[in-house]
């Protein structure tokens, strides 16, 4: 029973990684239409999503445990919040 639960968790992690890949693949072509600053900010966001997808894959393959996945996910979320705060600060300054 534990093996089934673990496999379900790993399948879920792979599904999450694929979903993040789809978001990145969909958004990446749109960057070409942005000005340089917006393109850079958007690329930074997408890079963080790629990192998170990689962490999910590492968990699914058994390379990292759930605690490490949570740690890496927390780092990505912290960076996304930082990027968002920086974008908001630039918008209010303009």
Global pTM reads 0.84
pLDDT at position 90: 58
Q: Is residue 79 packed enough to be buried (19+ CB in 10 Å), middle (13-18) or exposed (0-12)?
A: middle
Token couple for 88: 């908001």
Nearest to 72 by CA among 85, 59, 88: 59
pLDDT at position 7: 86
- Each residue's pLDDT tens digit in the chain (94 positions)? 556 666 888 999 999 999 999 999 999 999 999 999 999 999 999 999 999 999 999 999 999 999 999 999 999 999 999 999 987 655 555 5
* Whether 73 contacts 52, CB under 8 Å: yes
How far, in Å, CA of 39 to CA of 69, rounded? 28
């Amino acid at each position: 029973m534990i093996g089934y639960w673990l496999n379900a968790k790993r399948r879920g992690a792979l599904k999450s990684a694929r979903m993040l890949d789809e978001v990145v693949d969909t958004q990446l072509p749109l960057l070409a239409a942005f000005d340089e600053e917006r393109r850079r900010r958007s690329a930074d966001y997408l890079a963080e999503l790629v990192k998170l997808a990689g962490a999910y894959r590492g968990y699914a393959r058994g390379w990292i445990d759930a605690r490490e996945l949570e740690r890496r996910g927390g780092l990505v979320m912290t960076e996304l919040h930082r990027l968002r705060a920086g974008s908001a600060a630039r918008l209010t300054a303009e």
